[in-house]
Amino acid sequence: MQDLSVTIFQQDLAWQDAPANRAQFERLLPAAAGSALALLPEMFATGFTMEPAACAEGMDGSTVDWLREQAALHGCAIAGSLAIEEGGAFRNRFLFARPDGALEHYDKRHLFRMAGEHHGYVAGSERRVIEWQGWRLCPQVCYDLRFPVWSRNRGDYDALLYVANWPARRREHWRALLVARAIENQAWVIGVNRTGVDGKGIDYAGDSVVIDPWGRVVLDAGSAAGVHRVTLAAATLADCREKFPVHLDADAFCIGATADGV
């Protein structure tokens, strides 16, 4: 298992303007050259919109095609979430585009009811682990961060990837929960957030971070828009799990069905 180079893009987003956001990231993505993975925020094409009927795209839409093109152009995987329409329903979908054109996805499980996300979108029901460059990556989206059972490491991943539009007013929660997820799961954790003010007047402070399996902050992007590269060290992961094997004493559990069958 080799180290994994990741470039994160903490940026302001044009409100419900996919062409403008694609153009912005297209200008910035050359900075990911040589990285294995480039990470964009949640709903990077529109901002956190609750108007999916007006803003969502299909899986054959312009932004999905753009992701594939950019991954091939820069020779790295590119990931972030989009408002996607599929089968007459809308989903907040994390997309992982590989340079060879292959595409994997995870649908956000926990919908942010305080903004009404559960009224406009359908929740995902399956946790995913994506294998890339010898690493097992578990994608999650924003509000998922508050639900540790869903992200519990069952020995099936090496890094958690959170893409978000996390408001500045709850920035302390963001930081504390990301550190907790790294410590309790003995995994690398990356949290990529946006900056700026969205079309609803909600302020975002950035605060994108990368945290190692010991809970140490390796990268803190601060509050300004920026592009940051970090290396996830395989040796740090192995050292943590070998020297402090708390996973051997973990409680067995399973996620049962709810009333809606999920």
Active-site residues: which are they?
Answer: 42, 108, 142
Dist. CA 187–CA 165, nearest whole Å: 22
Dist. CA 176–CA 163, nearest whole Å: 16
Tokens linked to 57: 């795209």
State whether residue 16 is helix, strand or coil.
coil
Dist. CA 67–CA 64, nearest whole Å: 5
Closest C-alpha to 217, from 204, 228, 203: 228
Dist. CA 188–CA 182, nearest whole Å: 6
Amino acid code (one letter) for 172: E
**Residue 230 phi, psi (nearest 5):** -145, 155
User: How many angstroms separate the first and last alpha carbons of the chain?
Assistant: 34
The separation between CA 247 and the C-alpha centre of its own chain, rounded to angstroms, equals 24
The separation between CA 47 and the C-alpha centre of its own chain, rounded to angstroms, equals 14
